[in-house]
């Protein structure tokens, strides 16, 4: 047995265990993209092991990288299950980045084997009409893309491939619609927020449910991302933290985590003792949007063409757009625990830092690498700015904090964001 074949036997067994974990958790979190990647991996590895020697492509490093990726995948899922963090992990864009990276790299590596098997079979003297298990399972997967023009674009350029490199995707998209450099960055923020360099057909499908049809998607993206009330990928907890202490009627709109492709409104509710209320905005393509919980009998079943129409219709509730550049700062990582911050900073250079919410009300936290360890500092939010670790200076903005603490905060651990407005946090 070849080294690659022996490794792939172990990888396939590991893949079956990963599939089992994902299947058990499917009811609590949307794991479709990850489940289908592992299903594809298992099918390709099974096909490789069953194929004839002349059909097998040369595998780089005899499959060692695939073996390492599969081990990292299983170890991470087991850790999440054992610590009770599975749901938290899969519903947080920021926390999930590590798995997104592993998932996309694994798909890339295994796709090369899949394509190699297909090529070698086509080039064999006998030829073959045999269709592999991986090919059979990939058939009709693009049915998840409901927009006809978008589905045709994907099938024409990528066939039934689950995941494609970002630059290839943009080149294909530009054949159908104009995509400027700015639009490219905005699309990447939404479709590849973990900065993997890939986009999956599932994310493309979810994206179009909120921004379709295809021919209008760039225009709609720019309309939403440039709105002062839109704050991108926030959890409900993060929205609440941003809106605490705000005037009743202050609101923001974010991507919904419970229903991909939909949005949610968070606002300070004067009728609920100034607590933050969340309302789901359901996408109803191609017509527009619907409010799941109508506040007005005349609104029941009403369709809104744009999110701005939603804001205007409910202006008696949604009175003041929350203006802040905090959620658009690339070094702000939102609702991370100190443990999660340490995990994200592990292996980074001294002086690497990130900002996040603190568990202490009225404070932000900055986590940074000092020497060989991660340290955490508190930033008190004051009417005139921010105070670090109860030291005398008050810094007017967070940018001032970064500049004045340059000896500690040297290199931001960045996350993808979209162009920020010139706002400051209303603290």
**Cα–Cα distance for residue pair 83/94, rounded to 1 Å:** 18
**Cα–Cα distance for residue pair 191/204, rounded to 1 Å:** 7
Buried b (16+ CB within 10 A) or exposed e, 66-86: bbbbbebbbeebeebeeeebb
Q: What's the predicted TM-score (pTM) here? A: 0.85
**Cα–Cα distance for residue pair 244/229, rounded to 1 Å:** 16
Q: Which residues pair with 199 in a beta bridge?
A: 164
Cβ 23 vs Cβ 81: under 8 Å: no
H or E stretch including 36? helix 32-50
Q: In which residue are the tokens 């494609």 written?
A: 164
417-426: per-residue pLDDT in tens?
876 444 444 5
The torsion of the CA quartet 106, 111, 114, 116, rounded to 10 degrees, works out to: -120
**Cα–Cα distance for residue pair 147/27, rounded to 1 Å:** 26
Q: Which residues pair with 275 in a beta bridge?
A: 269
Q: What domains lie within the chain, and their CATH numbers?
A: 3-138 (no CATH), 141-224 (1.10.238.10), 236-322 (3.30.505.10), 327-412 (3.30.505.10)
269-293: per-residue pLDDT in tens?
988 788 999 999 988 877 788 886 5
Distance, C-alpha 306 to centroid of its chain:
23
**Cα–Cα distance for residue pair 277/368, rounded to 1 Å:** 33
What count of residues does the chain have?
427
Nearest in space to 52 (alpha carbons), one of 138, 106, 109, 123: 123
Task: Give phi and psi for 181, each to the nearest 5.
Answer: -65, -40
Cα angle, residue 90 at apex, residues 86 and 95 outer, rounded to 5°: 95
Query: Phi/psi class of residue 195: alpha, beta or left (left: φ > 0; alpha: ψ in -120 to 50)?
Result: left
Alpha carbons within 13 angstroms on the beta-carbon side of residue 190 total 32
**Cα–Cα distance for residue pair 77/102, rounded to 1 Å:** 12
Q: At what angle do helices 97-123 and 32-50 cross, to 10 degrees?
A: 30
Given a cut of 70, the residues of the chain with pLDDT beneath it are 1, 125-140, 258-260, 292-301, 419-427
Locate 54 and state its tokens: 């002349």
What is the pLDDT at residue 282? 85
296-343: per-residue pLDDT in tens?
555 556 789 899 999 999 999 999 999 888 888 889 999 999 999 999
**Cα–Cα distance for residue pair 401/375, rounded to 1 Å:** 16
């Amino acid at each position: 047995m070849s080294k690659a074949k022996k490794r792939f036997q172990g990888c396939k067994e590991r893949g079956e265990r990963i599939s089992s974990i994902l299947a058990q958790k499917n009811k609590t979190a949307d794991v479709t993209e990850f489940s289908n990647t592992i299903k594809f991996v298992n099918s390709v590895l099974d096909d490789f092991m069953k194929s004839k020697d002349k059909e097998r492509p040369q595998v780089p490093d005899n499959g060692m990288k695939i073996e390492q990726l599969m081990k990292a995948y299983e170890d991470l899922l087991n850790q999440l299950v054992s610590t009770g963090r599975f749901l938290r992990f899969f519903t947080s864009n920021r926390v999930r980045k590590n798995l997104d990276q592993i998932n996309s790299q694994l798909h890339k590596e295994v796709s090369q084997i899949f394509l190699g098997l297909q090529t070698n079979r086509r080039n064999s003297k006998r030829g073959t009409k045999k269709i592999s298990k991986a090919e059979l399972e990939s058939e009709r997967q693009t049915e998840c893309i409901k927009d006809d023009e978008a589905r045709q674009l994907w099938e024409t350029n990528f066939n039934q491939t689950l995941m494609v490199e970002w630059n290839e995707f943009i080149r294909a998209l530009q054949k159908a619609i104009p995509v400027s450099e700015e639009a490219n960055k905005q699309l990447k923020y939404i479709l590849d927020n973990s900065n993997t360099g890939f986009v999956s057909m599932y994310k493309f499908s979810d994206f179009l449910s909120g921004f379709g049809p295809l021919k209008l998607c760039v225009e709609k993206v720019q309309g939403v991302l440039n709105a002062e009330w839109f704050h991108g990928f926030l959890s409900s907890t993060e929205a609440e933290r941003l809106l605490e202490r705000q005037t009743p009627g202050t609101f923001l709109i974010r991507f919904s985590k419970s229903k991909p492709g939909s949005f949610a409104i968070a606002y300070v509710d004067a009728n609920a003792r100034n607590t933050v209320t969340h309302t789901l905005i359901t996408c109803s393509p191609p017509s527009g949007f619907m409010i799941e919980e109508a506040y007005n009998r005349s609104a029941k079943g009403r369709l809104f063409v744009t999110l701005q129409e939603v804001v205007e219709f409910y202006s008696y509730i949604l009175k003041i757009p929350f203006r802040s550049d905090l959620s658009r700062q690339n070094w702000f990582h939102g609702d991370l625990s100190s443990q999660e911050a340490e995990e994200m900073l592990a292996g980074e250079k001294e002086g690497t830092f990130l900002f996040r919410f603190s568990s202490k009300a009225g404070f932000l936290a900055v986590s940074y690498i000092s020497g060989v360890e991660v340290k955490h500092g508190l930033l008190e939010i004051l009417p005139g700015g921010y105070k670090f670790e109860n030291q005398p200076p008050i810094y007017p903005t967070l940018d001032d904090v970064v500049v004045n603490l340059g000896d500690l905060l040297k290199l931001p651990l960045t996350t993808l964001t979209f162009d920020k407005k010139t706002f400051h946090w209303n603290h």
